[in-house]
Amino acid sequence: MGLKRRIDKINDKIKSVSIAADEEKVYVRSDRKSFLGIKANGTVFVSSFLVVFALVTTTLIVGKPMATWFSNTQTVLSNSVGWLFILLMNVFLGFALFLGFGKYGKIRLGGPEAKPEFKMTSWFAMLFSAGMGIGLLFWGVAEPIFHFDNNPFAMKGVASAKSAMGVTFLHWGFHAWGVYAIVGLALAYFTFNKKLPLTIRSIFYPLFGEKIYGPIGDIIDIVSVIATLFGLATSLGFGVQQVNAGLTYLFDVEYGVTWQIGLIVVITLFATLSLVMGLDKGIRRLSEINLRLALILLLFVLLIGPTAFLLKTFVQNLGYYLSNFMELSFWTESYIGVKKGTHWQNSWTIFYWAWWIAWSPFVGIFIARISKGRTIREFVLGVLFVPALLTFLWISVFGGSAIYQELLGNTQISEAVNANIATAIYHLLEQYPFPFISSLLTVILVACFFVTSSDSGSMVVDTLTSGGKLDAPVGQKIFWASMEGLIAIILLIGGGLAALQTATILTGLPFAILLLVLCYSLLKSLKKDYGVKKLKGS
């Protein structure tokens, strides 16, 4: 009887190893097809283009009434599914922490012998430039001031200052990077360890098998492309408004859609040039320049401003955020919304969660592309904590400097925020010496972040529409870079900020559901591999 059990165990072990070996062979299959003379997935390429073309054309033809529709749609969507965004964002963050600190943390992306392609500083620079750059420059001053003047947690004063920074940390902190981490990790694992194409569909192989190469996979990649394009267009819309505001402040040029369209065209040309130069010569070098310029601006405000106050607030802000983390993370405005009929959260937390989710295929694919050779634990620690802490420091310095002025009775910055959000950072710099130089540096920095976001996003869309090809043809790169600029232009014409926010929520919702399935698929594959390794005794 004992001998029979041992034989059965040996057979089970052989069967498991055999299955794993067979799966490894299946995973080698590629999804690259020829389309119009280039290696592209025609279904994803054409369908994504047609959907985007239909949406932007409708916006352009209908004109001003679209602004009202965008605003109403945003309210309805946020009221109906806002709770789902909040719940899912907490699930995604928890899953990222589980993978980073659990038993799978020692698995290396690319296999045991894989080496990192980029040094640590270059890796962090590209993470930060792709993930947050433009948004932090746009909202780093304005958002804390908004929450200082009006937030549901405290009346105006010292208590409001603390809660304002805590809420801003929530929106830009661990939840956002948690989403990026799970998408990037899943893509890197299935691409480098399972030899699948670098597309979102590859993550679902454990669930659908060979069906990912058919209509199911096409739909997944189409949703990913659309979410990426509109999420990126939102960020580019913010960025170009701030560049325009800076030029208006410095050189008294006109602030309006005409100038913003021209700026999008010019900066998109530079983004295309960077994209054509490639990941190492273009995106990496420009990302490193961005990080250096950002650090110069950060140190300038920190050292010229109320240094001791800013450093103390950084520590206190971090403590407030962590001590109130659970309440802030799961707060849904349920009771206060009924009592006062307010929907503060719709324009802030819900929008941010949809924005990060819509951005996650873009940032996730980009992070995966540059992260071969990292262990899962190193990946999660690097993606989740280092950029988040740098983000917290940035918000504490810029947002804290603005609130410091408010506490002294100087309302110039809050008045600027209420008049035009994009001008907030320039009015802050006006409080310090050399405002022209620092404002010019800010304009250059926003433009550079604009370029890196656009070229990184184009690279990701190229990858998705070419079936996972890591280096798409030049013509395809130019096409999608141009499309991103065109989408940003038309959304600005058709509804401004409301259009950008609504487009983000509309595209973020279906991808949020995909992300939930993604977590299950990744966990299923990791469990299977972990079990096979234990059987092999490794």
Residue 91 domain flag: no
* Domain interval for residue 431: 33-58+108-332+339-536
* 381 C-beta neighbours (distance < 10 Å), count: 16
- Contact of 522 with 186, CB cutoff 8 Å: yes
CATH code: domain of residue 203: 1.20.1740
Let me know if residue 452 belongs to a domain.
yes
> Looking at residue 468, what DSSP letter applies?
S
When the pLDDT of each residue in the chain is averaged and rounded to a whole number, the result is 83
User: Alpha-carbon Rg of the chain, whole angstroms?
Assistant: 24
**Residues with Cβ within 8 Å of residue 238, at least 6 apart in sequence:** 134, 135, 138, 139, 422, 500
**Residue 9 is assigned to a structural domain of this protein:** no
What pLDDT digit, counting tens, does each position of 78-125 carry? Answer: 888 899 999 999 999 999 999 999 999 999 999 888 999 888 888 887
Q: CB neighbours of 42 closer than 8 A, spacing ≥ 6? A: 33, 35, 36
d(CA 414, CA 221): 42
Average pLDDT of the segment spanning 258-277: 84
- Between the two ends of the chain, the Cα-to-Cα distance in Å is 29
Contact 512, 88 (CB under 8 A): yes
pTM of the predicted structure, to 2 decimals: 0.85
CA-to-CA dists, residue 444 to 242, 299, 362, angstroms: 11, 17, 24
Residue 21 lies in a domain: no
Read off the pLDDT of residues 173-194 as tens digits, 9 standing for 90 and up: 999 999 999 999 999 999 999 9
165's tokens? 């920074």
* Residue 417 domain-assigned (yes or no): yes
pLDDT of 278 reads 64
Percent of the chain surpassing pLDDT 90: 44
Distance CA 133, CA 456 (A): 12
Q: Report pLDDT for 162.
A: 93
What pLDDT is stored for residue 36 in this prediction?
Answer: 46
Q: What is the pLDDT of residue 446?
A: 86
- Look-up of token digits 């991103």: 484
Asked whether residue 103 is assigned to any structural domain, the reply reads no
The dihedrals phi and psi of 146, each to the nearest 5 degrees, come to -55, -50
Q: Is 324 helix (H, G, I), strand (E, B) or coil?
A: coil
Question: pLDDT digits over 395-415, tens only?
Answer: 999 999 999 999 999 999 999
Gap between the Cα atoms of 93 and 96, Å rounded: 5
pLDDT tens digits, residue range 220-249?
899 888 877 877 777 778 788 889 999 998
CA distance 417 to 145: 8
Which one has a higher pLDDT value, 25 or 126?
Answer: 126
Amino acid at 47: S
Q: Tell me the C-alpha distance between 110 and 407, whole Å.
A: 52
CB burial string 430-451: b at 16+ within 10 A, e below: bbeeebeebbbbbbbbbbbbbb
DSSP state of 108: B
Q: Is 354 left (phi over 0), alpha (psi -120 to 50) or beta?
A: alpha
Each residue's pLDDT tens digit, 8-49: 443 444 344 333 333 333 333 444 444 444 556 788 888 988
Q: Is residue 79 a part of any domain in this protein?
A: no
Q: For the residues 346-363, what does the mean pLDDT come to?
A: 86
| Exposed / middle / buried, residue 64 (Cβ in 10 Å: 0-12, 13-18, 19+) | exposed
| Residue 277 burial (10 A CB sphere; 0-12, 13-18, 19+) | middle
Mean of pLDDT values over 499-519 = 80
3-class DSSP assignment, residue 331: coil
Domain count, the chain: 1
- Angle at CA of residue 517, ends 513 and 520, nearest 5°: 150
Exposed, middle or buried by CB within 10 Å (0-12, 13-18, 19+), for 409? exposed
Question: How far from the centroid of its chain's Cα atoms is residue 273's Cα?
Answer: 23
Domain-embedded: residue 1: no
Burial class (CB in 10 A: 0-12, 13-18, 19+), 152: middle
CB atoms within 10 A of CB 75: 15
CA angle 68, 70, 71 (to 5 degrees): 65
Sign of CA dihedral 260, 265, 271, 274: negative
Q: Report helix, strand or coil for 151.
A: strand
Least Cα distance to 220 among 524, 466, 515, 472 occurs for: 515
HSE-up of residue 454 (Cα within 13 Å, Cβ side): 37
Residue 270's pLDDT is what? 82
Cβ neighbour number for residue 208 with a 10 Å cutoff: 16
